[in-house]
């Protein structure tokens, strides 16, 4: 197998829980392949450079292997290599989020519907309509 659909690969590499979420992310422009926005049906091959934005942050990766089947997390980690700049940027963003929580903090008790919607908007979560 030389190439595979990007939504299948993102699901197999465990960037998204479902293939539908991976497809939706492509549809709203959160996935770039070699600097260009990618549709879900786009084929990717070994050596392609991807930029993936999801709940965990923004990843800049290089494809090392292509597969359509989802395996364990250990197998998924061998499918790509993340750039050192991407790792550092995600670490820095996590530290900033941690500091913001310590400074502002959350109100005690369960969040209201308004609070949950604000958090989802802040995190850039994908919602299906």
Please give the chain's pLDDT, 129 residues, in tens: 789 999 999 999 999 999 999 999 999 999 999 999 999 999 999 999 999 998 888 999 999 999 999 989 999 999 999 999 999 998 998 888 888 777 766 556 788 888 888 888 887 776 654
Other C-beta atoms lying within 10 Å of the C-beta of residue 118:
12
Residues 6 and 69 occupy one common structural domain: yes
Please answer whether residues 61 and 78 qualify as being in contact, where contact means their C-beta atoms are separated by less than 8 angstroms.
no
Q: Which helix (H) or strand (E) holds 62?
A: strand 57-63
Residues 69 and 101 occupy one common structural domain: no
**Structure confidence at residue 55 (pLDDT):** 83
Q: Does the residue 129 lie in any domain?
A: no
Other C-beta atoms lying within 10 Å of the C-beta of residue 40:
18
**Structure confidence at residue 108 (pLDDT):** 65
Q: Does the residue 45 lie in any domain?
A: yes
Residues 65 and 48 occupy one common structural domain: yes
| pTM given for the model | 0.76
Beta-carbon contacts of 93 under 8 Å, excluding residues fewer than 6 positions away, are: 57
Among 47, 61, 67, 54, smallest CA distance to 6 is for 67
Query: In which domain, by residue range, is 117 found?
Result: 86-124
**Structure confidence at residue 129 (pLDDT):** 44
**Structure confidence at residue 114 (pLDDT):** 87
**Structure confidence at residue 110 (pLDDT):** 82
Residues 76 and 113 occupy one common structural domain: no
């Amino acid at each position: 197998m030389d190439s595979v659909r990007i939504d299948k690969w993102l699901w197999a590499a465990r960037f998204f829980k479902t293939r539908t979420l991976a497809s939706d992310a492509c549809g709203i422009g959160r996935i770039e392949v070699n600097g260009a926005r990618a549709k879900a049906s786009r084929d990717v091959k070994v050596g392609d450079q991807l930029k993936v934005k999801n709940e965990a942050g923004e990843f800049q990766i290089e494809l090392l292997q292509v597969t359509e089947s989802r395996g364990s997390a250990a197998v998924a980690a061998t499918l790509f290599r993340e750039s050192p700049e991407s790792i550092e940027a995600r670490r820095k963003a996590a530290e900033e989020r941690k500091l913001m929580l310590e400074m502002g903090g959350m109100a005690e008790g369960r969040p209201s519907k308004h609070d949950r919607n604000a958090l989802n908007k802040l995190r850039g979560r994908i919602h299906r309509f």
